[in-house]
Amino acid sequence: MITRNRGIAITVGSLMLAGCTSSPDAPVPVVPALTVQTKTQALVHWESLSNDLADGIAQDLGSDATRLPVFIETRENSTYAASLREMLQARLARNGLVVATRADGARRLSLQTRLVAFREGRSGARVAPDSGHLQATGGTPAHEVLTTLAVVDGSNYRAQRQAIHYIDDAEAGLYRSTVSRAKTLNVVGPTRGGAR
Protein backbone atom coordinates (compact mmCIF):
# COMPACT_ATOMS: atom_id res chain seq x y z
CA MET A 1 0.00 0.00 0.00
CA ILE A 2 2.83 2.38 0.88
CA THR A 3 4.62 1.55 -2.37
CA ARG A 4 1.45 2.26 -4.39
CA ASN A 5 0.90 5.62 -2.65
CA ARG A 6 4.55 6.53 -3.14
CA GLY A 7 4.23 5.70 -6.86
CA ILE A 8 1.13 7.88 -7.17
CA ALA A 9 2.85 10.72 -5.32
CA ILE A 10 5.89 10.51 -7.62
CA THR A 11 3.66 10.49 -10.71
CA VAL A 12 1.60 13.48 -9.52
CA GLY A 13 4.76 15.36 -8.53
CA SER A 14 6.33 14.70 -11.94
CA LEU A 15 3.24 15.97 -13.72
CA MET A 16 3.21 19.12 -11.60
CA LEU A 17 6.88 19.79 -12.34
CA ALA A 18 6.36 19.15 -16.03
CA GLY A 19 3.53 21.67 -16.00
CA CYS A 20 5.81 24.26 -14.43
CA THR A 21 8.36 24.06 -17.24
CA SER A 22 6.07 25.27 -20.02
CA SER A 23 4.75 28.77 -20.46
CA PRO A 24 1.01 29.10 -19.75
CA ASP A 25 0.73 31.26 -22.88
CA ALA A 26 2.31 28.74 -25.24
CA PRO A 27 -0.08 26.52 -27.19
CA VAL A 28 0.26 22.80 -26.60
CA PRO A 29 1.00 20.90 -29.83
CA VAL A 30 -1.50 18.20 -30.69
CA VAL A 31 -1.57 15.66 -33.47
CA PRO A 32 -4.53 16.37 -35.78
CA ALA A 33 -7.10 13.69 -36.46
CA LEU A 34 -6.28 11.33 -39.29
CA THR A 35 -7.07 12.92 -42.65
CA VAL A 36 -6.60 11.77 -46.20
CA GLN A 37 -5.27 13.79 -49.10
CA THR A 38 -5.24 13.08 -52.82
CA LYS A 39 -1.95 12.32 -54.53
CA THR A 40 -2.10 13.22 -58.22
CA GLN A 41 -0.15 10.90 -60.49
CA ALA A 42 -1.94 11.15 -63.85
CA LEU A 43 -3.74 13.59 -66.13
CA VAL A 44 -7.07 12.10 -65.14
CA HIS A 45 -6.35 13.25 -61.58
CA TRP A 46 -5.74 16.79 -62.85
CA GLU A 47 -9.03 16.59 -64.76
CA SER A 48 -10.92 15.48 -61.65
CA LEU A 49 -9.41 18.38 -59.69
CA SER A 50 -10.28 20.90 -62.44
CA ASN A 51 -13.86 19.56 -62.60
CA ASP A 52 -14.27 20.09 -58.85
CA LEU A 53 -12.92 23.66 -59.09
CA ALA A 54 -15.03 24.57 -62.15
CA ASP A 55 -18.22 23.05 -60.73
CA GLY A 56 -17.66 24.88 -57.43
CA ILE A 57 -17.15 28.24 -59.12
CA ALA A 58 -20.23 27.75 -61.32
CA GLN A 59 -22.23 26.88 -58.20
CA ASP A 60 -20.89 29.94 -56.34
CA LEU A 61 -21.91 32.23 -59.21
CA GLY A 62 -25.39 30.69 -59.34
CA SER A 63 -27.82 32.28 -61.80
CA ASP A 64 -25.25 35.02 -62.48
CA ALA A 65 -22.83 32.46 -63.99
CA THR A 66 -23.96 32.91 -67.60
CA ARG A 67 -24.42 36.72 -67.48
CA LEU A 68 -20.88 37.40 -68.75
CA PRO A 69 -18.34 35.28 -70.58
CA VAL A 70 -15.41 34.13 -68.42
CA PHE A 71 -11.70 34.36 -69.14
CA ILE A 72 -9.17 32.31 -67.18
CA GLU A 73 -5.97 34.22 -66.56
CA THR A 74 -2.80 32.90 -65.00
CA ARG A 75 0.78 34.05 -64.65
CA GLU A 76 1.96 30.49 -64.30
CA ASN A 77 3.46 28.69 -67.26
CA SER A 78 4.09 25.28 -65.77
CA THR A 79 2.86 22.17 -67.56
CA TYR A 80 0.37 21.70 -64.75
CA ALA A 81 -1.07 25.25 -64.93
CA ALA A 82 -1.36 25.20 -68.74
CA SER A 83 -3.09 21.81 -68.71
CA LEU A 84 -5.37 22.76 -65.85
CA ARG A 85 -6.39 25.97 -67.64
CA GLU A 86 -7.48 23.97 -70.70
CA MET A 87 -9.37 21.47 -68.56
CA LEU A 88 -11.12 24.28 -66.65
CA GLN A 89 -12.18 25.92 -69.92
CA ALA A 90 -13.71 22.64 -71.13
CA ARG A 91 -15.58 21.97 -67.88
CA LEU A 92 -16.89 25.53 -67.57
CA ALA A 93 -18.18 25.35 -71.15
CA ARG A 94 -19.89 22.02 -70.33
CA ASN A 95 -21.52 23.81 -67.37
CA GLY A 96 -23.08 26.32 -69.79
CA LEU A 97 -20.65 29.20 -69.30
CA VAL A 98 -19.30 31.08 -72.29
CA VAL A 99 -15.50 30.88 -72.17
CA ALA A 100 -13.77 33.84 -73.83
CA THR A 101 -10.44 33.66 -75.62
CA ARG A 102 -9.63 37.25 -74.61
CA ALA A 103 -10.12 39.17 -71.38
CA ASP A 104 -11.94 42.11 -73.03
CA GLY A 105 -15.47 42.35 -71.62
CA ALA A 106 -15.20 39.04 -69.78
CA ARG A 107 -15.40 38.15 -66.10
CA ARG A 108 -11.91 37.27 -64.90
CA LEU A 109 -11.13 33.93 -63.31
CA SER A 110 -7.70 33.95 -61.72
CA LEU A 111 -5.85 30.62 -61.65
CA GLN A 112 -2.91 30.38 -59.27
CA THR A 113 -0.77 27.42 -58.34
CA ARG A 114 1.81 27.09 -55.63
CA LEU A 115 4.33 24.28 -55.26
CA VAL A 116 5.24 23.84 -51.59
CA ALA A 117 8.24 21.76 -50.53
CA PHE A 118 8.34 20.35 -47.02
CA ARG A 119 11.21 18.42 -45.51
CA GLU A 120 11.78 14.95 -46.89
CA GLY A 121 11.01 11.99 -44.68
CA ARG A 122 8.25 13.65 -42.68
CA SER A 123 5.92 11.22 -41.02
CA GLY A 124 2.35 10.66 -41.99
CA ALA A 125 2.29 7.44 -43.99
CA ARG A 126 -0.45 5.75 -42.01
CA VAL A 127 -3.14 3.38 -43.14
CA ALA A 128 -6.53 5.05 -43.12
CA PRO A 129 -8.72 2.45 -41.42
CA ASP A 130 -12.30 2.17 -42.67
CA SER A 131 -11.87 5.26 -44.86
CA GLY A 132 -12.42 3.54 -48.17
CA HIS A 133 -9.20 5.11 -49.48
CA LEU A 134 -6.19 3.23 -50.73
CA GLN A 135 -2.92 4.56 -49.41
CA ALA A 136 -0.48 5.69 -52.10
CA THR A 137 2.84 3.93 -52.17
CA GLY A 138 6.15 5.56 -51.31
CA GLY A 139 5.35 7.24 -47.98
CA THR A 140 4.52 10.89 -47.47
CA PRO A 141 5.76 13.07 -50.36
CA ALA A 142 7.81 16.18 -49.65
CA HIS A 143 5.85 18.23 -52.23
CA GLU A 144 2.27 19.48 -52.16
CA VAL A 145 0.43 21.78 -54.56
CA LEU A 146 -2.10 24.46 -53.69
CA THR A 147 -4.39 25.38 -56.59
CA THR A 148 -6.70 28.39 -56.38
CA LEU A 149 -9.41 29.48 -58.83
CA ALA A 150 -11.01 32.83 -57.99
CA VAL A 151 -13.65 35.06 -59.58
CA VAL A 152 -12.26 38.60 -59.67
CA ASP A 153 -14.57 41.61 -60.03
CA GLY A 154 -12.38 44.71 -60.24
CA SER A 155 -10.23 44.61 -57.12
CA ASN A 156 -12.53 42.20 -55.23
CA TYR A 157 -12.71 38.44 -55.02
CA ARG A 158 -16.30 37.36 -55.60
CA ALA A 159 -15.78 33.61 -55.15
CA GLN A 160 -12.80 31.39 -54.57
CA ARG A 161 -12.14 27.64 -54.57
CA GLN A 162 -8.98 25.82 -53.55
CA ALA A 163 -7.58 22.33 -53.80
CA ILE A 164 -4.56 20.83 -52.08
CA HIS A 165 -2.89 17.62 -53.17
CA TYR A 166 0.31 15.65 -52.87
CA ILE A 167 2.46 15.02 -55.91
CA ASP A 168 5.17 12.52 -56.67
CA ASP A 169 8.42 14.28 -55.69
CA ALA A 170 10.12 13.18 -58.92
CA GLU A 171 7.42 15.07 -60.88
CA ALA A 172 7.83 18.45 -59.16
CA GLY A 173 9.18 19.93 -62.42
CA LEU A 174 5.69 19.65 -63.97
CA TYR A 175 4.45 22.12 -61.36
CA ARG A 176 7.29 24.65 -61.46
CA SER A 177 6.65 27.84 -63.35
CA THR A 178 9.51 29.19 -65.41
CA VAL A 179 8.15 32.73 -65.26
CA SER A 180 10.49 34.89 -63.24
CA ARG A 181 8.68 37.25 -60.91
CA ALA A 182 11.83 39.24 -60.28
CA LYS A 183 12.00 42.70 -61.76
CA THR A 184 15.17 44.36 -62.97
CA LEU A 185 15.58 47.96 -62.00
CA ASN A 186 18.09 50.15 -63.77
CA VAL A 187 19.46 52.68 -61.31
CA VAL A 188 20.72 55.85 -62.89
CA GLY A 189 22.63 58.33 -60.81
CA PRO A 190 25.60 60.65 -60.83
CA THR A 191 28.87 59.16 -61.96
CA ARG A 192 32.28 59.83 -60.50
CA GLY A 193 33.38 63.26 -61.28
CA GLY A 194 29.93 64.81 -61.49
CA ALA A 195 26.70 64.44 -63.31
CA ARG A 196 26.39 63.20 -66.85
Task: For residue 153, tell me if it sits in a domain.
Answer: yes
93 domain-assigned:
yes
Q: Looking at residue 7, what is its pLDDT?
A: 52
CA–CA separation, 96 and 113 (whole Å): 25
- pLDDT, greater one: 89 or 131: 89
For residue 49, the model assigns a pLDDT of 96
Q: Is residue 47 part of a domain?
A: yes
Which of the pair, 192 or 29, is modelled with greater confidence? 29
Q: Is-above-0.85 flag for pTM?
A: no
Percent above pLDDT 70 for the chain: 69
- The per-residue pLDDT for 145 is 95
The range of the structural domain enclosing residue 157 comes to 34-124+133-175
| pLDDT, averaged across the chain | 81
